[in-house]
């Protein structure tokens, strides 16, 4: 009878004591449920080098290293690799330090050499599962479940940071507010499932129209926003807006039926439009409304009260 193959978990052990490292490896070798492929390094710098080249399931971290000490070691490791669960292996049974380590992001705090193989092995497994659950909850809180785009909450956070970078680097930032044309007719004639399918395809097309560094968000319903950083001239925004109107103006095949919509886009630029987030969104919304009044599938730039009408408006042909 063939023996069932055990799961293999890749572990990075960051420990400057060879004796303690061998002890940890021996303890894990005794565990029969999973197999552990342990890579041992003695310094933080070595750990960062390995993490940049190899995917690990978990990190076992000593807090006292030649190039790191105490909770600072943990924070550096977590900052460099926020998605990998970290278990602290300490030579001290210090309840206060243990609590502080967990509060700083460690999944667990264990004392070296104490406990049976089951304790360390299960701590690793539970740490991996807890980290996955945390990432799932974070994803649900920050991304739209239907389209996978950034949601309203994460969008506002990214916009705050984009505005700060814009002023610090003295590089303009573009903000687009998009509202689909004739989307309600799709829901009314083909049903909400078709509408959901259409929104997914719209999201895909929007991603294709911008760079990876740009942020595309779904604000709710059929309303989307885009943050574009580091452009050199408003003409760059015109190119993107035309690309979007042409892409979304191309018919969609939904439930084996050809469906045509469009998109109305309002655009404002920061810090030319030097206002807070809600004002920027209102300005982009007003420009979008003017685009929709022109018949849709077009874009308009925000016009301040004392400026002449924009010459950058365009209707997609």
pLDDT the model gives residue 314: 53
Q: Which helix (H) or strand (E) holds 254?
A: strand 252-254
> pLDDT digit string (tens) for 164-179?
999 999 999 999 999 9
Average pLDDT along the chain: 90
pTM given for the model: 0.70
Cα–chain center distance at 26: 38
Mean pLDDT value across residues 107-135: 87
Tell whether the model's pLDDT for residue 101 goes beyond 90. yes
pLDDT at residue number 116: 66
CA separation for the pair 95, 93 (Å, rounded): 6
Q: What is the 3-state secondary structure (H, E, C) of 161-214?
A: HHHHHHHHHCCCEEEEEEEEECHHHHHHHHCHHHHHHHHHHHHHHHHHHCCCCC
- The string of pLDDT tens digits covering residues 252-310 is 999 889 999 999 999 999 999 999 999 999 999 999 999 999 998 999 999 876 344 44
Task: pLDDT band for 3, please (50, 70, 90 cuts).
Answer: very low
Q: Which of 215, 204, 71, 114 is nearest to 155 (CA)?
A: 215
Query: What pLDDT is attached to residue 238?
Result: 96
Q: Does residue 84 contact residue 52 with C-beta atoms inside 8 Å?
A: no
For residue 31, the model assigns a pLDDT of: 84
Active site residues: 222
pLDDT of residue 310: 46
Residue 107 CB contacts under 8 Å (≥ 6 apart), including other chains: 85, 86, 87, 123, 126, 127, 130, 131
Per-residue pLDDT of 4-26, as tens digits, reads 455 689 999 999 999 999 999 98
Beta bridge partners of 143: 150
Mean pLDDT to the nearest integer, 75-97:
91
Nearest to 61, CA basis, from 28, 85, 93? 85
Supply angle C-alpha 55, 56, 57, rounded to 5.
130
The pLDDT tens digits for 123-158 are 999 999 999 998 889 888 999 999 999 999 999 999
């Amino acid at each position: 009878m063939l023996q069932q193959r055990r799961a293999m978990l890749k572990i990075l052990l960051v420990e400057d004591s060879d004796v303690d490292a061998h002890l940890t490896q021996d303890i894990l070798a005794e565990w029969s449920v999973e197999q552990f492929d342990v890579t041992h390094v003695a310094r933080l710098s070595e750990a960062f080098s390995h993490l940049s080249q190899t995917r690990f399931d978990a990190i076992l971290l000593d807090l006292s290293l030649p190039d790191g000490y105490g909770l600072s070691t943990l924070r550096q490791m977590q900052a460099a690799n926020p998605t990998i669960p970290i278990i602290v292996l300490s030579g001290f049974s210090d309840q206060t330090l243990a609590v502080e380590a967990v509060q700083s992001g460690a999944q667990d705090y264990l004392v070296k050499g104490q406990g049976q193989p089951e304790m360390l092995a299960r701590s690793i497994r539970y740490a991996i599962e807890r980290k996955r659950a945390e990432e799932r909850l974070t994803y649900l809180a920050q991304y739209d479940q239907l389209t996978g785009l950034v949601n309203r909450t994460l969008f506002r956070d990214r916009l705050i940071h984009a505005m700060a970078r814009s002023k610090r680097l003295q590089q303009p930032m573009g903000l687009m507010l998009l509202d689909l044309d004739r989307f309600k007719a799709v829901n009314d004639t083909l049903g909400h499932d078709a509408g959901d399918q259409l929104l997914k395809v719209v999201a895909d097309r929007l991603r294709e129209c911008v760079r990876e560094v740009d942020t595309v968000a779904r604000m709710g319903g059929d309303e989307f926003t885009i943050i574009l950083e580091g452009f050199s001239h408003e003409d760059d925004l015109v190119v993107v807006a035309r690309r979007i109107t042409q892409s979304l103006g191309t018919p969609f095949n939904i439930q084996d039926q050809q469906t045509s919509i469009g998109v109305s886009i309002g655009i404002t630029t920061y810090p030319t439009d030097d206002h807070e987030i809600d004002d920027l969104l209102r300005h982009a919304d007003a420009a979008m409304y003017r685009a929709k009044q022109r018949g849709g599938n077009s874009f308009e730039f925000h016009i301040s009260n004392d400026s002449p009408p924009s010459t950058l408006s365009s209707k997609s042909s």
